[in-house]
Structure 1
């Protein structure tokens, strides 16, 4: 059963990415609704979050607060500085990717890889509440002199994209328990549907680059893979002993689809490309972590 799920996951991921690249017309049909598919994926995975686990996490706020500060402030500042001095065109994309919140898809990763959920639940909650205010402020402080940034518009986009799924998830659990149970019991297959739609839409926008700007694609893939590795090391090193796998997942499995929409709207497609191509190490990392942690 587990092997069948792994094969289905690998097939869905690789097939949807290839479909987006080689059949961009199909991807363009679903692409305008990326925030809808993302919201649905976030909603499904929010149903896994237990209020009891959440309360337990906040009963010991010190480790959670420290990890959240690393995630939203220290890590993006460090990654921006490194990218700025090594290869400046990637500085802003790296800042956006590293400064976004822990993804509500992280519990989906835990269901495949393993690990303790409470720390991830806390990181999702804290970073989702804080990122609409922290990330636009960081961007404005670091690159505001180079762009005409509508700070209020950035805050509103992040608030809507994160808080609507959060609110819908809690309301469904409270007022429609049968719907909540159905979604929870079928969350793997339903999540794969939205993962496929997200991948097709994201990679359709990048299809032309794969055929005309292969060097840019390779550079972006290398940068996204290094970013994934850096996030993983930071999450593992900064987490409490016994929760390091959860810390690693909370730092690496982020709302990169939201970053792509955010970046494309305010900075253009080339800035958004890093967040889209981050899906490659994102999903490859799931399979790698499963082997390492299982071993």
Structure 2
């Protein structure tokens, strides 16, 4: 009996996270190529996106602009204030995670939960271009710690991990329709390979936390799930009615990999831990989100 896609996804997520924690040497071998794995993952999940739909999203930018403003300004300010009152040590990590741009893995999730791609890809582009200016200023104003998100690096990230897969998918559809059909038909199983590589790479960096301070670990895992739930709820409430699933994905699936990198550089491993551990709800909540949206739409 062939296992269902949901079972394959659940096994791949649990297995790759466990492998990264228990055999970090294997994860560290693939970790330097996270950007490559993200780019290939995006290729298999953007190949079905029609360029005309993405152009239409930017041609009528009101919904996109409103959601981006909530994502980059209102949400992080509210989350920081709430966390500052409830548990101050997590206020800065929560601010960094909640204020980061929509993640490059969001289109993979969108295809699983059947959310519309144009708004999500539009959010990736818009928030990635804006976040280097917004998040450092907000962090400096609230915390007093000055750091930079290099605009050039963010543009390079967009070019390598978003625009190249997007253009590549369009070219393959035009020049090699059979290859395009094969990639589209098998996009889920092909994507799983790269989800495994990404998870192993991420969790190899997090492995020490699992064997040192378990209280700190549990606090951050619980905080990551709480953040995910709030982000998804805000995205659902803010997005237009027909795009509510896309709004949930665009706000809940953030670029936590970048948060971890910059937090490590400017604030240290304890601040970066929440961003790294956010990968647990990032993938563990895909199937519950899928079931929830089926009920909402039925």
TM-score (norm 1): 0.88
Residues 238-288 of structure 1: CA deviation (Å, up to 9, x unaligned) = 111222122111111122222222322332222221112111112222111
2:279 match? 279
1:155 match? 151
Asked if the contact 2:47/2:170 (under 8 Å) is kept, the reply is no
1:118 match? 118
Q: 2: CA distance between counterparts of 1:2 and 1:65? A: 43
- For 1:82-97, list aligned pairs within 5 A: 82-97=82-97
1:172 match? 168
2:145 match? 146
CA deviation after TM superposition for structure 1 residue 223, in Å: 0.6
- For 1:26-45, list aligned pairs within 5 A: 26-45=26-45
Worse-superposed segment, 232-241 or 82-91: 82-91
Q: 2: CA distance between counterparts of 1:100 and 1:224? A: 14
- For 1:251-266, list aligned pairs within 5 A: 251-266=251-266
CA deviation after TM superposition for structure 1 residue 4, in Å: 1.9
Two-structure CA RMSD over aligned residues (Å): 2.4
Q: 1: CA distance between counterparts of 2:157 and 2:73? A: 21
CA deviation after TM superposition for structure 1 residue 66, in Å: 0.7
Q: 2: CA distance between counterparts of 1:33 and 1:264? A: 18
Q: 2: CA distance between counterparts of 1:158 and 1:23? A: 31
CA deviation after TM superposition for structure 1 residue 293, in Å: 2.3
Structure 2 portions without partners, runs of 5+:
none
Q: 2: CA distance between counterparts of 1:252 and 1:45? A: 18
1:222 match? 222
Aligned-partner SS, 1:243: helix
1:198 match? 198
2:71 match? 71
Q: In 2 relative to 1, CA 33–121 (structure 1 residues): closer, same or farther, beyond 3 Å?
A: closer
Asked if the contact 1:256/1:275 (under 8 Å) is kept, the reply is yes
Q: 2: CA distance between counterparts of 1:94 and 1:169? A: 30
Worse-superposed segment, 208-217 or 131-140: 131-140
Q: In 2 relative to 1, CA 236–169 (structure 1 residues): closer, same or farther, beyond 3 Å?
A: same
Asked if the contact 2:45/2:107 (under 8 Å) is kept, the reply is yes
Q: 2: CA distance between counterparts of 1:116 and 1:174? A: 18
Q: In 2 relative to 1, CA 260–36 (structure 1 residues): closer, same or farther, beyond 3 Å?
A: farther
TM-score (norm 2): 0.88
- How many residue pairs align between the two structures? 291
Residues 212-234 of structure 1: CA deviation (Å, up to 9, x unaligned) = 21101100011101100110111
1:22 match? 22
2:234 match? 234
Q: 1: CA distance between counterparts of 2:42 and 2:116? A: 19
Residues 132-168 of structure 1: CA deviation (Å, up to 9, x unaligned) = 332233233333x335x3x2x6333323222322331
Aligned-partner SS, 2:116: coil
Asked if the contact 1:27/1:204 (under 8 Å) is kept, the reply is yes
CA deviation after TM superposition for structure 1 residue 17, in Å: 0.4
1:288 match? 288
Q: 2: CA distance between counterparts of 1:184 and 1:134? A: 36
Aligned-partner SS, 2:194: helix
